[in-house]
């Protein structure tokens, strides 16, 4: 019994609560996420900071990226919608223990950037920055070689700012020297299975910037729909999208690219070929191969043998020309030097759609391929590579790893690794890809669309299966037993949000803040970020920070709270005012019409604040009487005024 009491007390000391879990209030004040490479905090010294008088300055003029960033961060640092009362932090972690409160107010942050980049961010962008704060000075300094580093430094500075009791603001005094561990830190969104609005895509971009992620991988098309507007081939979206409303036109796409630029985020488009092309065929008859069951596939149609077409017919020259022309347009629309060309899961269709198709199999035999459909895949990819290189000699091609597994990958292609049911298996995939000399991007561990229960952001259970639990914080893209040369080929990783069960209603809470666990793994020094338990107080504060900024991010851990909980304004529906219509004497009274109050009131969400507003539409009466008389009086009054 004594041993049990001792164990319970020991757990309480370790985790801050006697249930063996972190205390609900266990969070830092002014903790930076992701953890910077080097931080000096001056014994937790803090400055006062006054939102009304604080200002940013910069040594350059007409630098739109920094100018717009200053506007954003004044809002993000001081979200005045917070409903802090004069509570005095009921839990012990309310104000940092041992904090030295200062009488000095930090009045400004001077940003020094060597050059302002008017272009778009690329893989090679420099995101390094140095933030210098002196406990005795009212001025802080942020130094960066490029604007991209300045953006990351501004985000870190905003994390140092926190709200104390009695509506006072403080900034944790720190000097930070920082740069990312990996160049490629991305989030993939699939907007073809369920359409995601432009406003939500932008909100996700903002959350990416708040976590220092720098690649938006946009999975635009798939078997189910083709929502991308091609000006060369408008019939593709006209026939392949769910409806005309479920289409991204090119002005909207450019808007996303330009907004991402202001946040230091690259937009890498994915057009998945030669498989996952079902919706392509709706707007391009003859593009896809007709597929036939060989007894091992599920048949569709009256004969029970035909299966849905989902892969291109590469034996037709007109199809190869179409692919060339399509990517010619896409490569000019998207300014990034990298584009994702898919290539996954084609093996599921190669037999049914190529070998079982008599026309294609005959073509293969006539071209010395016999029954080797891998040679046909290689033929298609070889033509694809030539088409891309003819358009842009600098374009880098990313493929899902199957293209490399089948030994048909073009030279210098980048492998996007997604296979491996558990961490060890995924590390074998990374080992194999890098052993063959390919650059690699890792995603196997970070499929956040999987529905799971528990603290999946940082912990694992004994099964070690990704579909069962998360390990988001514990996965490392270079965790395989390879050489230093192999590990140098790892560009980074991406969090993936596939859209089969995700749309605008659950995108943000499903993705955030858990994606932040991968963000720290991709940015921070692994030697300093080994423990999810040690990271939790900062992660807890970061989740509360995102919540205070107006983003509906779900709880990632055990029971806890934020001082500013998500609480959208509620307004009950009210019936619209009913207009009165005079009925002439002796006229037949029209039948009464009952209008449902709920049908006339439409709630709308303000995406920038998370608050709801009610818009009421009054049904026109169409009568005469008082309304017509009032209109005549108004018209006469206007005429008299003009005279």
| C-alpha span between 418 and 435 (Å, rounded) | 17
How do strand 129-132 and strand 175-178 relate by DSSP bridges? antiparallel
**Bond before 274 cis per omega within 30 degrees:** yes
Asked whether 325 and 236 are in contact (CB, 8 A), the reply is no
Asked whether 609 and 81 are in contact (CB, 8 A), the reply is yes
| C-alpha span between 109 and 54 (Å, rounded) | 8
Mention every residue, 6+ apart, whose C-beta is less than 8 A from residue 591: none
Query: 373-391 and 317-333 are packed helices; what angle lies between their axes, rounded to 10 degrees?
Result: 40
| C-alpha span between 184 and 125 (Å, rounded) | 10
| C-alpha span between 197 and 591 (Å, rounded) | 42
* CA-closest candidate to residue 236, choices 281, 275, 190, 286: 281
- Paired with 267 in beta bridges are 216
Residues in the chain: 643
Catalytic residue among 145, 224, 329, 345: 345
* CA-closest candidate to residue 552, choices 499, 520, 513: 513
Q: How many CA atoms lie within 13 A of 145 on its CB side?
A: 8
DSSP category for residue 243: S
Annotation says 402 is catalytic: no
Residues with catalytic annotation?
345
């Amino acid at each position: 019994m004594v041993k049990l009491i001792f164990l319970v007390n020991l757990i309480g000391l370790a985790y801050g609560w006697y249930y063996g879990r972190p205390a609900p209030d266990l969070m830092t004040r002014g903790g930076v996420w992701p953890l910077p490479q080097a931080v000096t905090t001056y014994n937790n010294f803090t400055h006062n900071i006054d939102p009304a008088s604080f200002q940013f300055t910069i040594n350059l003029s007409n630098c739109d990226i920094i100018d717009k960033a200053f506007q954003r961060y004044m809002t993000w640092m001081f979200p005045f919608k917070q409903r802090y009362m004069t509570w005095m932090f009921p839990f012990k972690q309310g104000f940092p223990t041992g904090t030295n409160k200062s009488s000095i107010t930090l009045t400004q942050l001077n940003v020094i950037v060597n050059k302002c980049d008017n272009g778009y961010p690329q893989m090679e962008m420099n995101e390094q920055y140095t933030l210098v704060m002196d406990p005795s000075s009212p001025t802080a300094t942020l130094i960066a070689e490029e604007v991209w580093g300045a953006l990351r430094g501004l985000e870190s500075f905003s994390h140092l700012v926190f709200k104390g009791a009695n509506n006072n603001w403080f900034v944790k005094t720190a000097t930070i020297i920082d740069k990312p561990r990996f160049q490629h830190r991305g989030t993939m969104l699939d907007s073809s299975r369920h359409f995601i609005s432009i406003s939500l895509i932008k909100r996700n971009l903002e959350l990416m910037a708040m976590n220092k992620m720098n690649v938006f991988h946009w999975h635009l098309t798939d078997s189910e729909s083709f929502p991308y507007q091609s000006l060369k081939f408008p019939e593709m979206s006209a026939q392949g999208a769910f409806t005309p409303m479920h289409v991204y036109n090119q002005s909207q796409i450019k808007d996303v690219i330009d907004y991402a630029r202001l946040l230091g985020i690259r937009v890498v488009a994915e057009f998945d070929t030669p498989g996952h092309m079902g919706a392509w065929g709706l707007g391009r008859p003859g593009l896809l191969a007709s597929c036939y069951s060989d007894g091992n596939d599920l048949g569709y149609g009256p004969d029970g043998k035909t299966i849905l077409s989902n892969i291109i017919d590469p034996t037709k020259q007109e199809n190869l020309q179409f692919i060339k022309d399509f990517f010619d347009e896409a490569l000019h629309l998207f300014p990034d030097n990298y584009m994702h060309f898919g290539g996954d899961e084609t093996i599921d269709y190669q037999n049914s759609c190529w070998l079982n198709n008599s026309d294609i199999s005959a073509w293969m035999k006539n071209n010395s391929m016999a029954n080797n459909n891998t040679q046909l895949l290689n033929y298609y990819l070889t033509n694809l590579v030539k088409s891309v290189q003819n358009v842009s000699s600098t374009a880098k091609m990313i493929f899902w790893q199957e293209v490399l597994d089948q030994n048909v990958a073009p030279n210098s292609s980048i492998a996007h690794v997604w296979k491996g049911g558990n961490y060890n298996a995924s590390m074998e995939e990374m080992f194999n890809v890098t052993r063959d000399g390919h650059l690699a991007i890792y995603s196997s561990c970070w499929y956040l669309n999987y529905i799971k229960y528990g603290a999946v952001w940082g912990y694992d259970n004994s099964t070690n299966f990704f579909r069962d639990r998360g390990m988001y914080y514990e996965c490392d893209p270079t965790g395989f037993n390879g050489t230093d040369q192999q590990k140098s080929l790892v560009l980074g990783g991406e969090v993936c949000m596939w859209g089969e069960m995700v749309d605008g209603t659950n995108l943000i809470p499903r993705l955030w803040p858990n994606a932040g666990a991968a963000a720290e793994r991709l940015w921070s020094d692994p030697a300093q970020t080994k423990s999810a338990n040690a990271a939790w107080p900062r992660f807890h504060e970061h989740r509360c920070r995102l919540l205070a900024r107006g983003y509906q991010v779900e709880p990632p851990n055990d029971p806890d709270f934020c001082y500013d909980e998500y609480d959208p304004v509620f307004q009950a529906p009210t019936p619209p005012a009913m207009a009165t219509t005079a009925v002439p004497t002796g006229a037949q009274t029209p039948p009464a019409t009952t209008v449902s109050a709920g049908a006339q009131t439409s709630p709308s969400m303000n995406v920038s604040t998370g608050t709801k507003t009610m818009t009421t539409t009054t049904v026109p009466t169409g009568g005469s009487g008082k309304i017509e008389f009032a209109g005549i009086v108004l018209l006469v009054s206007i005429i008299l005024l003009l005279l």
